[in-house]
Amino acid sequence: MTLSEKTTFIKSTLKNAGFTHIGITPPVTLSKEKEHLTEWINNGYNGTMKWIENRQNERGDIFQYFPNVKSIISVGMNYYTGRVKRNSEKAGISNYALGDDYHEVLKNKLYQSLKLINDKIPIENYRVCVDTSPVMDKVWAQKSGIGWIGKHTNIITRDYGTWIFLGELLVDFKLEYDKPFLEDLCGSCTACIDECPTNALIKPYQLDSNKCISYQTIEYRGEFDDSINLDEWIYGCDICQEVCPWNNKFEQITNENAFQPRVNIINKTNNDWKKLTPEAFSKLMKNSAIKRTKHSGIQRNVNHHLKAKIIP
């Protein structure tokens, strides 16, 4: 196979697997991004997420993570299933967590694609990455032409807005590379910054995780004091995405069945969550991203949400 034929075959295989975005870029050391990451960590903006700090050198230098890498194949998949409705009876759960766990969905699709690719293009060394690997997903997505990093720090695409999951397939051979996405199409818009109820976006393109509702409801393990504002969310938060003009114009309902909301999750009221036993939680959250916060986390979030409603 020629370089062009290899590239075309790989892209078509990944497209057939359901990925809505595919881009390829050569590996480079991310000196500028690594410097920004170090500054971000030194400012304490990673909160209690020590796993970011522990492997920051690999995040900034892809060759430390995978020395044999020659091509970074970035993929994206639309997961949008409609705006999350929130009211006094039912607090919000982020769109991304309403269906099956995206880590498993994307990994399975990447491994299945890899098997098909390997039948025609032998691959000796590779890495499959979905979120938990020490890889700067959004940076590689931008370098591979998928989109640009918005002021809310999410990747934005021209055709689906921000509602996409990202992953990478790192391989040990060269391919034809795509042009990076060099434009910043946020322009003068600051909707995400203006509408964040906790001021977590301290300035354009910089997030203080300590103030972020998603971080508080998912990653943070401590107790909340009365100053914590969850703004009617009990798992994650979609506000900066909901107000993004690119989503308002281009968001599309996903075709991926695995991401469709689970009825036994979206129909639960705040009181239903309060009554949920650890055993029932474990059964309900099988293959769900929500299991990350654990039963104790959901209980803490719901109780704080209900408490906030009765404080004048």
Tens of pLDDT, residues 80-108 = 999 998 887 899 999 999 999 999 999 99
Mean predicted confidence (pLDDT) in 221-250? 96
Residue where one domain finishes, among candidates 119, 141, 171: 171
Q: What is the dihedral of CA 107, 112, 117, 120, to 10 degrees?
A: 160
Residues facing residue 128 across a β-bridge? 169
pLDDT band at residue 292 under the 50/70/90 scheme: very high
pLDDT for position 312: 43
Q: Which of 209, 257, 256 is nearest to 76 (CA)?
A: 256
The predicted model scores a pTM of: 0.95
Q: Which residue has the tokens 């979206």?
A: 266
What gap in Å lies between CA 7 and CA 176, rounded to an integer?
6
Of the candidates 61, 131, 172, 231, the residue annotated as catalytic is 131
User: Can you read off the two tokens belonging to residue 241?
Assistant: 């995405």
Render pLDDT for 205-224 as a digit per residue (tens, 0 to 9). 999 999 999 999 999 999 99
Q: What angle do CA 237, 265, 259 make, to 5 degrees?
A: 70
Model confidence pLDDT, tens digit, residues 115-168: 999 999 999 899 999 999 999 999 999 999 999 999 999 999 999 999 999 999
Looking at the domain assignment, is residue 178 inside a domain? no
What pLDDT does residue 128 have?
Answer: 98
131 is catalytic: yes
Query: 138 with 215, same domain?
Result: no
Mean pLDDT, residues 238-245 taken together: 98
Identity of residue 286: K
Beta bridge partners of 127: 170
Whether 65 maps to a domain, the answer reads yes
Max CA-CA distance within the chain?
A: 69
Straight-line distance from the first to the last Cα atom of the chain, in angstroms, rounded to the nearest whole number: 69
pLDDT digits (tens, 9 = 90+) for 32-87: 999 999 999 999 999 999 999 999 999 999 999 999 999 999 999 999 999 998 88
User: What range defines the domain where residue 242 resides?
Assistant: 191-310
- HSE toward the beta carbon, residue 188, CA cutoff 13 A: 0
Claim to verify: residue 195 and residue 161 sit in the same structural domain = no
Please provide the average confidence, as pLDDT, over all residues in the chain. Answer: 96
Distance, CA of 202 to CA of 165 (rounded, Å) = 24
Please check whether residues 161 and 197 belong to one and the same domain.
no
Position 250 in a domain:
yes
pLDDT computed for residue 34 by the predictor: 96
Give the Cα separation of 150 and 161 in Å (integer). Answer: 10
User: Is 276's pLDDT higher than 60?
Assistant: yes
Total structural domains within the chain: 2
